[in-house]
Structure 1
Amino acid sequence: MSVLELKGITKRFGKFTAVDDVSFEIREGEVFGFIGPNGAGKSTTIRAIIGAISPTSGEVRIHGKPVAAQPDYRKHIAYVPGDVQLWPNLTGGEVIRFFMKLSGNDDTEKMDAMIREFRLDPKKKCKTYSKGNRQKVALISAFLSEADLLIFDEPTTGLDPLMERTFHHHVLAAKFEGKSILLSSHILSEVEKLADRMAIIREGRIIETGRFSELKHITRVHYRVRTPDDLSEVGRMEGVHEFRQEDGEAEFMVDADKVKEVLAVLKHFELDNIETLPPKLEDIFMRYYDAGSGAS
């Protein structure tokens, strides 16, 4: 079942097109990654979803119905931006309890547990908080909400690695509860760990959508080879990148569509060991943003 569906969302600011014909859907109980560099159109798309801006054209649907026909559709959404601003004279705990009351959640035991996990001092006023602590207040509030669609826009900005892991844990817990998560980020490894499917946005347009396994056709395979032979011939082959060899070990990347040709050449060498490393999301991403890739 589709929880969120975008149909041809376009947003223009004067002559500038920030988002161009963006379409995708997020299903129930799914983590959907939305990746691209800063300025690619991620935040503009999200602002159209939450109603902060009106799209120039296209339609946003929640649970199969246009949001225009659902005046209260925002009750389904909890949104955390990359730079959270809070009421300066309220404490973090007061802000969290306020949002819990709005969503109808009175589970203070769960609230206390989450505050401990995120290592937040809830008695301090928000004006004293660092960026990371403001982020924690918003994340805790979102995870405690009754919303069935959680939208995170660069959510781990300002968090240390330990808190990032805590965030990842609660994303997966929310997914287990049947909630849907839109995770917008330029941190590719974060999306790779959490997302069931993803969309790559470039200059306001979606250029690929699918599961990571379905995107391998645009990636490269990383090889590590132990051999006494000189593999420079392999390094000169079409589709081979970042070749280097020293002390009897060679490493290189191979375009997915050139793997068969490279392996056919490798079998003529004396190989002590060959290791294939799984393709990374970074490889997919860089293929599209490499100026020489020809992607559009």
Structure 2
Amino acid sequence: MENVISIRNLTKTYGKKRGVSDVSFEVHEGEIFGFIGPNGAGKSTTIRSMLGFLNFNSGSINILGMDSVKDHERILRDVGYMPSEALFYPTMKVSEVIKYAADVRKVDCREEAAKLCERLQVDTSKKIKELSLGNRKKVSIVCAMQHRPKLFVFDEPTSGLDPLMQNTFFELIKEYVEQGTTCMLSTHVLPEVRRYCDRAAIMREGHLIKTDTVENLIATSAKNVKVTADGETKEYMYNGDINDLIRELGGQHVENLTIEEPSLEDMFMHFYEGQEETK
């Protein structure tokens, strides 16, 4: 399986401010790859370094078989990028923005753009300044998808979209991926990762914590425990044998004990909160 994205030892610093440090991972051809972590984890810095919008300090990035620095312009021809914030000239009409995005690439995208606008219910006659955040997001989606790129890179794409449009957005992604496109999805919406992604990389505080299949990442024998003992209530995730837990509590006066399967958020949270880093 070919790697559409290959990042090796990427480091980007902002003086005293945190960037990313020694980040390495691959995105395989034809997969939907989740890039997850809390806000400020380094996801956007990594993406902007990938696409040549930031000069990084060290490491190497290969996109679609090309060097991200030397072949920056060639790479962008085959990438559909959607930033976390969709900013356009406010007085332009939606139709003008979509055409402008196509003209920059020197590609006739009218047929694909029309299909996308219909699916996403985009009113092309309105001016950008008349649109809500969600409708600006939809325009950004059209601009990223209309040239049928080999690689999608989406940074927090569904914020501002209503649930119906979120479903439509992922339906479109799956359709393009079935036709050969690869997708990298940066998000902190964990149910999206579970539902749509094949593999994922977890970022925390500028470091890559783990990369694996989503199935493996959420597989855990851990349980959420809430115990009231000796007048004190504690809540925590327990990773050991439940029988060991019972023995540990044996010397206490237990007033209440609840043991539950962890939520999806809880299963990922231990990656976010200072567990030992692994690759």
CA contact (8 A) 1:219 1:283 kept: no
Cα deviations across residues 164-191 of structure 1 (Å, max 9, x unaligned)? 1111111111211111111001111112
Name the CA shift for 1:161/1:203 in 2 (closer, same or farther; >3 Å): same
1:282 paired to 2:265: yes
Structure 1 residues 200 and 90, CA gap change in structure 2 (3 angstroms): same
Distance apart, 1:49 and its partner CA = 0.8
Asked if the contact 2:94–2:123 (Cα under 8 Å) also holds between the matched residues in 1, the reply is yes
> What pairs with 1:71-82 in structure 2 (closer than 5 Å)?
71=72, 72-82=74-84
Q: Does structure 1 retain, via aligned residues, the 8 Å contact 2:198–2:213? A: yes
The alignment's TM-score, normalised by the length of structure 2, stands at: 0.82
Tell me how large the CA RMSD over aligned residues is: 2.6
C-alpha separation in 2, matches of 1:217 and 1:167: 27
C-alpha distance 259-217 of structure 1, shift in aligned 2 (>3 A): farther
Q: 2:208 aligns with which of 188, 197, 206?
A: 206
Name the SS for the 2:241 alignment partner.
Answer: helix
Of the structure 1 ranges 201-210 and 281-290, higher mean CA displacement relative to structure 2 is found in 281-290
1:182–1:134 Cα change, 3 Å: same
Partner deviation per Cα, 1:211-261 (whole Å, 9 max, x = no partner):
02222455636xxxxxxxxxxxxxxxxxx52479xxxxxxx9975653687
* Cα distance change, pair 114–199 in 1 and its aligned pair in 2 (3 A): same
Partner of 1:92: 94
Q: Does 1:175 align with 2:177?
A: yes
Number of equivalences: 256
- Deviation by residue 1:9-63 (Cα, 9 ceiling, x = unmatched): 1111113331011111111111110001111111111110111111111111112
1:66 Cα deviation from its structure 2 partner:
1.9
Contact 1:218 1:284 in 2 (8 A): yes
SS in 2 for 1:152: strand
Q: 1:113 to 1:75 in 2, by over 3 A?
A: closer
Q: Is 1:39 equivalent to 2:22 in the alignment?
A: no
Look up the match of 1:154. 156
Is 1:9 aligned with 2:10? yes
Q: Give the drift of 1:143.
A: 1.6
Q: Is the 8 A contact 1:7 1:23 kept in 2?
A: yes
Q: Is the 8 A contact 1:5 1:60 kept in 2?
A: yes
Question: Residues 64 and 75 of structure 2 are in contact (CA less than 8 Å); yes or no, is this contact kept in structure 1?
Answer: no
Q: 1:241 corresponds to which residue?
A: 225
- Matching residue's letter, 1:287: H
1:62 aligns with: 63
Cα distance change on mapping 1:243 and 1:175 into 2, 3 Å:
farther
User: 2:97, 2:241 → 1: CA distance?
Assistant: 55
Query: CA offsets, 1:71-112, max 9 Å, x none?
Result: 422212111111110122221112112223344543534322
TM-score (norm 1): 0.78
- Give structure 1 regions of 4+ aligned residues with deviation exceeding 6 angstroms: 259-262
Aligned to 1:69, what secondary structure does the other structure show? coil
- The one of 129, 137, 140 equivalent to 1:138 is 140
Conservation of the 8 A alpha-carbon contact between 1:34 and 1:200? yes
The answer to whether the Cα contact below 8 Å between 1:81 and 1:152 also exists between their aligned partners in 2 is yes
Q: Give the Cα separation in 2 of the matches to 1:294 and 1:67.
A: 32
Q: Secondary structure at the match of 1:68?
A: coil
Does the CA contact (< 8 Å) of 2:218 and 2:264 recur in 1? no
Q: Percent identity?
A: 36
